[in-house]
């Protein structure tokens, strides 16, 4: 099969399309003919050599795919050859064929484009596990999403609105903020010329956000604590700033706030299966009804994965970037 490899870590052109052996599903796994693969920030880290795949997983990049099951491994009883699925992977998605644990699969509704479905697993699992399972966002509360026009951000806005939350978001342009507004965000903050702390407090009569989803990290930590409400929950899912943040413990205690930090890729397979099962029960009805969908910025041929990485790193995109074998 054709797949993207990384012979030498580096810039986007380090992604090279080559012929490799077809993967073979093991016990409890399925083989998927890939319709599309989602592109994520973690893929950039793998390309640069700073975020290797978990031990024992494929060396190929790619943590989510959509496609059709073409082979079942031993012990798989709940899925059939021909099923339309999307899957959360530890790696191996930038290819014509990919292996997934049967416990990490989600069914693709008949009226959902199979290619677009590739942008769902990573974003939905990240948002559900952090914003809802860890931070406990509830109907009627206010969520602040940093980078609301990203794949994670557009998913968080839709899901929070679906359960009846007020959504605030930061983004770097009027175009991106308009995209967030169209998805249901009500408090729109241009981080380039507005202070998100001031705007959040102003928009909530001084209360702040109940939950903040932050992939920026670093210097945002202190500002997040000033923008969060009493008994608020702060969920860090990345450190795109590359900086180390300072923590005012007195402020944290005074607000009775909680800070969560997590990654998804490195979680044990059993934990991922539990997340997938939970979101299938609680989130997938919104996907099936169309309330939550993939916002696709661009599709690229698999051979041009480097172009997708260039666009991702430029931060010019709105929504997900997909690769088509």
Determine how many CB atoms are found less than 10 A away from the CB of residue 50.
10
Helix/strand/coil for 123: helix
Return phi, psi of residue 184, to 5°: 120, -5
Q: Can you give the pLDDT at residue 196? A: 95
Structure tokens at 294: 């993939």
What gap in Å lies between CA 237 and CA 239, rounded to an integer? 7
Q: Can you give the pLDDT at residue 266? A: 87
Record: fold of 123-261 = Rossmann fold (3.40.50)
Q: Which helix (H) or strand (E) holds 121?
A: helix 121-127
Record: fold of 2-120+294-324 = Quinone Oxidoreductase; Chain A, domain 1 (3.90.180)
Segments making up each domain of the chain, as ranges: 2-120+294-324, 123-261
Distances (CA, A) of 72 to 19, 65, 276: 23, 17, 19
Residue 184: CB partners within 8 Å, gap ≥ 6? 157, 158, 160, 161, 167
List, for residues 12-49, the tens digit of each pLDDT value.
Answer: 999 999 999 999 999 999 999 999 999 999 999 999 99
| Secondary structure string (H, E, C) spanning 46-68 | HHHCCCCCCCCCCCCCCCEEEEE
Residue 223: CB partners within 8 Å, gap ≥ 6? 196, 197
Q: Can you give the pLDDT at residue 318? A: 97
Q: Give me the chain's average pLDDT, please.
A: 96
108 DSSP assignment: P
Residue ranges in the chain modelled with pLDDT below 50: none
Q: Can you give the pLDDT at residue 235? A: 94
Q: Can you give the pLDDT at residue 240? A: 78
What gap in Å lies between CA 105 and CA 114, rounded to an integer? 14
pTM for this predicted structure: 0.95
């Amino acid at each position: 099969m054709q797949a993207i490899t990384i012979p030498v870590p580096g810039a986007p052109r380090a992604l090279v399309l080559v012929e490799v052996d077809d993967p073979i599903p093991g016990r409890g796994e399925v083989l998927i003919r890939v319709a599309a693969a989602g592109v994520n920030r973690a893929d950039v880290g793998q390309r640069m050599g700073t975020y290797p795949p978990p031990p024992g997983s494929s060396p190929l990049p790619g943590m989510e795919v959509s496609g059709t099951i073409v082979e079942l491994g031993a012990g798989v009883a709940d899925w059939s050859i021909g099923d339309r699925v999307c899957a959360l992977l530890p790696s191996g998605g930038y290819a014509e064929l990919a292996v997934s644990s049967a416990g990490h699969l989600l069914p693709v509704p008949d009226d959902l484009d199979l290619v677009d479905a590739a942008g769902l697993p990573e974003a939905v699992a990240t948002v559900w596990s952090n914003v809802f399972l860890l931070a406990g966002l509830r109907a009627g509360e206010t969520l602040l999403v940093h980078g609301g026009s990203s794949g994670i951000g557009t998913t968080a806005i839709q899901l929070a609105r679906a359960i009846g939350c007020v959504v605030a978001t930061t983004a770097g342009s009027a175009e991106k903020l308009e995209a967030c507004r169209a998805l249901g965000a009500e408090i729109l903050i241009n981080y380039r010329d507005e202070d998100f702390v001031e705007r959040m407090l102003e928009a909530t009569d001084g209360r702040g956000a109940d939950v903040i989803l932050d992939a920026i990290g670093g210097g945002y930590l202190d500002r997040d604590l000033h923008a969060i409400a009493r008994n608020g929950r702060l969920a860090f899912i990345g450190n795109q700033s590359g900086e180390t943040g300072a923590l005012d413990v007195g402020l944290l205690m005074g607000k009775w706030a909680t800070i969560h930090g997590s990654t998804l890729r490195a979680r044990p397979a059993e934990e991922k299966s539990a997340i997938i099962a939970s979101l299938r029960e609680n989130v997938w009805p919104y996907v099936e009804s169309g309330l939550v969908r993939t916002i696709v910025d661009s599709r690229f041929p698999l051979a041009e994965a480097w172009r997708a990485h260039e666009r991702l790193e430029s931060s010019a995109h709105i929504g997900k970037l997909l690769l088509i074998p």
